[in-house]
Structure 1
């Protein structure tokens, strides 16, 4: 087949392979409120799909606002969203706007006169941020039906992500939000910074754009070349060479032009070109060809734009390209007409795609690049405020090492101050790798460790700090501080807790000349939560910290140390700490001090949660989270969220808990202290639902296999959950084996304040196994360990243990003891544990022949059902059946007609939760065959075709 001479268009005149996605997009944005996320790799066609969508919306009343993100853009908070609002002034009536909208005046000078007067700014940066968020939402809410589009969210600043998350979590009724991003270039793989779940009532759509198939490549090629069709073998070869990525295909076809501007007329030549040219080279060649058709001034302006890397004004392009204003304007016009440059937004010019920018950049020789980077550096150095990140990057690429060090460090410091720890960490690492100045190594190494401690990125900074400890450039004076920061990072990583503690111990010895830093290391070593170290080891460090605090008159240092010290003491049940909380100020305008307060409040909340001071834990947690806004401490926020999740498990706030915790696990998978506790909550939730395999899979991640490298309160909770899991499945020997391991670690650790979860199920399985002596010994040890300690959770567990023992011995006061234990559980709002004790009370009455026993047990079963504890509910109903409460009439079994019998209702409820026949049989103590018969009747009576029709949407 021969193809006609064709000059390939800029892009296909028709949209290929995206029809269903375009329809879905159109339908979603036509409904408000709605949220649409479009993900796809570079060149996959996100921009083209969006262009087709917007073209179709021209005839609709939907107002379209667009913002975009750039790879080298300065970290200007909320910039991507604010850019989209600078044209809406004419649509606003300041009288119709809330006064809060006035906070946008200094951020949006173009529409300032359309906004209310500037209100008084609160001092608290958290309140200021919330005001800005509310103001943006207010402005958007008065515009009528509106579509807010933000492209390339993977390049967004943290502020824009937070603002978009705020808008998308509760969008105004008139708003549709559409964002595009590349997951592979997004920090953590999450475009909004953390997992996002659209709220109820909001139309949501997630589009994943995939490469084109061979047939679609064929169709797109034909459309670009303007021919009816292309040979199937050529289409297959093109697909192989371009991987089906539309942009790469377009650029490849452009690169296949012959010298007179057309595509080869015979397919053999086309295939030969494809066989000899690699795709990356084709992209560079295609751009080089376009550049070659430009005059010298056009190439210079394109080179300047490629070096700048972000959309630039006409004036900046002229300065970097060393051109006069009279010459730069026609040069830009020529570059635009040639498809080299594009007008990205109002009077700023760049490239349609990052690949195109890189292709032009690659056409420059080394000396040319350096010369242009020097000009870019000089041009941007005069801008106010200085774009520090860009200046640093240009000085680095220009080989100006002194300037690179100065501006790179300034950019990293600025990012750290703004709470962007990821950017700061990467800059410090690069500076350490590249700076020749020995004098700067100490300073940069310390800054890297300090910033990394607050951030989410752990492994790369650890590797850099470990290399530095063997680097001759690092001074002895800085070595201890670097090692301390390394140890603090290691204790968060899987399998590295013991190694991290060892590094901290070594650092304490190296920091003899820095007692403040050495004492900070001691406060970490004093934390009883780490590893299986006996409590006495931690108390040795605690006494050293107390001695130092008694002589310390540096208030900032005292506060930093108290953030760890108070929680360490409260975590083991030291009641005197409750009187010392007044030592902590409520707030501080200083960011560093506020970070100490965040850590202090969240650490104390965790200690309160572990020991059972749940109300105080909630109050401290809320305070810590409020203080964390704008403090730039994502790691501490993560620990607070895991504390809150476990607190919700204890107190029965289970609605939506599993979904929330699952999202958090994805956010914090690499942070073992956080991920372990979240896995514990997921394991407990799975266990009460009878999801045995999932429960065991989650519980493994609590540190059960390697307690030496795990956090004691978490793996003790894991042991407790696993004991309950085996016990409810009547696997008593396995339950006892797990209980033995957990109790042995508990005794070795010596912190009986943490026995609140493990003691009760361990005593129960010991009694069921005939090991009454072990049950009594554990109860006695618990009682002795709690003397002089404040630990409401463990105290309630002690009451339950005594009650279970009395019940096992058939003592007359068993019910009275059970009531006492249940009152203690109710006082703590331990909803699930209260239900378990209520079940024991009702069973005791039922077995004893008391008439109220059956009714109480039925009520407990309903309580379990309402909580979602289907296994426990089934156990109660089995006891009711076997206790003789089922009655039959003399005429035989009652007929329920088309209504579900009580047994069928139980089966139907488990079906809706997504359980299999085998699981239902195990829950209800029935044979699989009987369950099959029940399922068949339920489907018939409910008019369902398959069991999938019965599964609730939340379980699908």
Structure 2
């Protein structure tokens, strides 16, 4: 646009629907153009019944009075404008004598010439005429005249809504086109896509907007920037006033029949056919065309008509008085009954809004059953929540609907509102005792998924098992959950008591679905405890099933086994079972199960060194699953791990605190134990020995109380490092012995490999570097076999340090290569530590690309500095994290800002 205006005479046509950003684009154009070269002046067409002729152009000329006073002598014809523009009378020539003829065409021609004369005298100028779709014929003719023989320095920017041009072929009427001598560009602005809506929303709110929210915003606003801004400004509660006003204005321009068609579309809520709209509106279907031409409705899909966005629909819906809305809903019920297949949920919704309670209950429950059959758990849960909230629902209906709700809600994603309904149902006197036990069982399962809910969940589950003594199938489900050792600080011995009862139930049941349900919890729990015989039972699992319910339980089985494998060190098996679980869950509506699997996947990516974009993925999943405590704690753990590896201490503390460290009795034990190990590593890195030892004491106490030592593979090496640093070598050796004895004969690859690491740490502390080196080498081989990339790199560093102390050749070279490898992985703090050691040895650590090979790209060191800058770290903090001097950090900061084209570090944040 700037380039076109630089070649006057020129004209820019900017088309786009209301709110798409035409005015904003013009404002940016005005800011981007050299003000000493062009003067912009703006006029606007108005939707007036009798617009003032030439009004927008005259408004532009009035704003140029100052420049006109300095202009050269004007043509005498310019005086014609004195009577129309008194603001310019003092600088215009005297009005010429009236024409000999009273022909209005002659007077109009003199006005046109006068305007051109004034613009020619003013010099380079750009007239911006907004909302050309409302232009009157006189102004349109004047603009056509100016563009036929334009002044040399004239630029025109004309904005309009294509859909509001009516029967005009173009913005200036007819088939008129600018002269070939005029630089011409036509721009049509289109709606934002989902990623652009997300970017806009993030910018407006100042915080990261999740993909799910961006998708919802895009759906509600059709990607129109103004509507996105208004929704975020008003938090989406009301129709934005400008949207309401423009929609109602268009609606009022329709005939009664066209208006009823639009109102019928608003009541139907979803895009509908011409036939359905006509039937619900009770008018001729031809009125649909009028609503389309009037730009109230649009063709949403082929032969389906509705509103451009949800707020336009709401604005029209709000014009309907209550009795008329009811009438529309009643007709919608009758019309939708004739469609095949019958849209049950839509009929139920219209029945409710029409006050037809019996129809609502009948069609609503039928819609629930259909949703359950098609594995649409979200739809089924939503419908059941509405039905169960109805006042006056008979007791038999409450029992039946509550049972369906408890069974489908468990596999869904929603949490807090479901929990509230379950708690309300338990206090509902209409609920029978057998159903009450099932509801309590479901409530216990939901409480397990919520922060501070684990102890309450155990209480509810134990009570549910007692209440379900006459329903052994459901009681066994409750026992299988109580047998799972993941939850809280209850000792393993208590879980084993329940595991034995579950074993008996599995052996005695002939129900395939129940057996799979029990195995889903039982097999995962057995992998966690390191039972080597569990793999034979896992191998007997069926590959799939014709039953959606059994497939869902099979999916849960594999994903639970994958999770257990990831905690105990069977990473290859974890991936195998993860993908089996995903495949089985694909069409079962098991959103919670899939979310759990995604958290496991993120942890596996951490272990196996797939760190590229891992923090973004973890943060995205954390936001999307923010109500699911088991998922959020695992994701927070990964984010904490990443922050520790980068030396981002405050971020690490924040993430690790979200894992449940402060309340382990209400957290997931392996997550808390791993988080405690990460906290110890961070404290040691900061040389905070006493707090590190205190954290170790807490973590080991929890591990000892729980008794599942297969989870000690990360904590015990961290504990030994802290104890040795604090001079508590006896405590370090005790922890090693405890772990060795506890996992003897068990299948616990990570914990077994950790023993060698811990032994090496004690030997290193005692100065026996040869023993330490060999212990570290054996452990690294085990880590390599397991696929543990990052821990293997840290052991490579330990080995190199031992070799340096043993004066072995090439040890420094190992550290040089390792620093580069750690940088590429994203462990900038560890890479910096390696370089710090090398600097102490007087060894340079050039990158593989060479010291001057990065050009305008950031080097790995500069990337690390940029990352810490972006998170608000000071130069002093960056120096401490990266083992650099303050002066060196200052130099890196200057280079980062220069390469990124930024003026200050605040811009990077």
Question: Normalised by the size of structure 1, how large is the TM-score?
Answer: 0.68
- Residue 493 (structure 1) aligned with residue 445 (structure 2): no
2: CA distance, partners of 1:191 / 1:720: 32
Distance 1:723 1:54, change over 3 A: farther
Q: Quote how far apart the aligned CAs of 1:814 are.
A: 2.5
- Residue 633 (structure 1) aligned with residue 629 (structure 2): no
User: Which is worse superposed, 483-492 or 847-856?
Assistant: 847-856
Distance 1:629 1:150, change over 3 A: farther
1: CA distance, partners of 2:801 / 2:903: 34
- Residue 415 (structure 1) aligned with residue 371 (structure 2): yes
- Residue 852 (structure 1) aligned with residue 810 (structure 2): yes
Is the 1:921–1:931 Cα contact (8 Å) retained in structure 2? yes
Q: Quote how far apart the aligned CAs of 1:476 are.
A: 0.7
Is the 2:646–2:826 Cα contact (8 Å) retained in structure 1? yes
Q: Quote how far apart the aligned CAs of 1:395 are.
A: 1.7
SS at match of 1:454: coil
- Residue 427 (structure 1) aligned with residue 383 (structure 2): yes
Could you give the per-residue CA deviations for residues 723-774 of structure 1, whole angstroms, max 9, x where no partner exists?
0011111111121111111111111111100001111111011001100011
Distance 1:914 1:300, change over 3 A: closer
2: CA distance, partners of 1:631 / 1:750: 36
Match of 1:649 among 572, 590, 606: 606
Is the 2:566–2:604 Cα contact (8 Å) retained in structure 1? yes
1: CA distance, partners of 2:27 / 2:484: 53
Q: Quote how far apart the aligned CAs of 1:416 are.
A: 3.3
Q: How does 1:7-86 map to 2 (within 5 A)?
A: 18-19=21-22
Alignment partner, residue 246 of structure 1: 242
SS at match of 2:436: helix
Q: Quote how far apart the aligned CAs of 1:347 are.
A: 5.5
Is the 1:488–1:500 Cα contact (8 Å) retained in structure 2? yes
User: Which is worse superposed, 920-929 or 601-610?
Assistant: 920-929
Is the 1:149–1:178 Cα contact (8 Å) retained in structure 2? no
Alignment partner, residue 350 of structure 2: 394
Is the 1:907–1:935 Cα contact (8 Å) retained in structure 2? no
Q: Larger relative CO (CA 8 A, sep 6+): 1 or 2?
A: 1
Is the 1:668–1:675 Cα contact (8 Å) retained in structure 2? yes
Match of 1:591 among 542, 548, 573: 548
Alignment partner, residue 538 of structure 1: 495
Is the 2:710–2:751 Cα contact (8 Å) retained in structure 1? yes
Distance 1:851 1:502, change over 3 A: same
Match of 1:384 among 313, 333, 340: 340
Q: Quote how far apart the aligned CAs of 1:178 are.
A: 10
Alignment partner, residue 868 of structure 1: 826
Alignment partner, residue 90 of structure 2: none
Distance 1:23 1:752, change over 3 A: farther
Distance 1:24 1:190, change over 3 A: farther
2: CA distance, partners of 1:699 / 1:52: 53
Is the 1:448–1:461 Cα contact (8 Å) retained in structure 2? no
Alignment partner, residue 316 of structure 1: 276
Which runs of no fewer than 5 residues in structure 2 stay unpaired? 1-14, 30-130, 135-158, 166-187, 217-221, 231-237
Distance 1:764 1:849, change over 3 A: same
- Residue 484 (structure 1) aligned with residue 441 (structure 2): yes
Distance 1:368 1:578, change over 3 A: same
Q: Quote how far apart the aligned CAs of 1:939 are.
A: 7.2
Match of 1:457 among 414, 417, 423: 414
Distance 1:661 1:523, change over 3 A: same
- Residue 768 (structure 1) aligned with residue 728 (structure 2): no
* Largest Rg, 1 or 2: 2
Q: How does 1:830-849 map to 2 (within 5 A)?
A: 830-849=788-807
Q: Quote how far apart the aligned CAs of 1:458 are.
A: 0.5
Question: Normalised by the size of structure 2, how large is the TM-score?
Answer: 0.71
Alignment partner, residue 619 of structure 1: 576
- Residue 529 (structure 1) aligned with residue 486 (structure 2): yes
Could you give the per-residue CA deviations for residues 428-453 of structure 1, whole angstroms, max 9, x where no partner exists?
01100116222111121122222221
2: CA distance, partners of 1:755 / 1:635: 28
Distance 1:194 1:212, change over 3 A: closer
SS at match of 2:452: coil
Q: Quote how far apart the aligned CAs of 1:827 are.
A: 1.3
Q: Quote how far apart the aligned CAs of 1:567 are.
A: 0.5
Q: How does 1:658-807 map to 2 (within 5 A)?
A: 658-807=615-764
Alignment partner, residue 62 of structure 1: none
2: CA distance, partners of 1:885 / 1:190: 46
Q: How does 1:92-131 map to 2 (within 5 A)?
A: none
Alignment partner, residue 827 of structure 1: 785
SS at match of 2:351: helix
Q: Quote how far apart the aligned CAs of 1:648 are.
A: 1.3
Is the 1:487–1:501 Cα contact (8 Å) retained in structure 2? yes
Q: Quote how far apart the aligned CAs of 1:249 are.
A: 4.0
Is the 1:301–1:328 Cα contact (8 Å) retained in structure 2? no
Is the 1:911–1:947 Cα contact (8 Å) retained in structure 2? no
Alignment partner, residue 73 of structure 1: none
Q: Quote how far apart the aligned CAs of 1:193 are.
A: 8.1
- Residue 373 (structure 1) aligned with residue 376 (structure 2): no
Is the 2:437–2:468 Cα contact (8 Å) retained in structure 1? yes
User: Which is worse superposed, 508-517 or 835-844?
Assistant: 835-844
1: CA distance, partners of 2:863 / 2:211: 37
Could you give the per-residue CA deviations for residues 157-212 of structure 1, whole angstroms, max 9, x where no partner exists?
xxxxxxxx9xx9xxxxxxxx99999999xxx986668989xxxxxxxx99854688
2: CA distance, partners of 1:739 / 1:646: 22
Q: How many residues align?
A: 719
Distance 1:211 1:638, change over 3 A: closer
User: Which is worse superposed, 533-542 or 586-595?
Assistant: 586-595
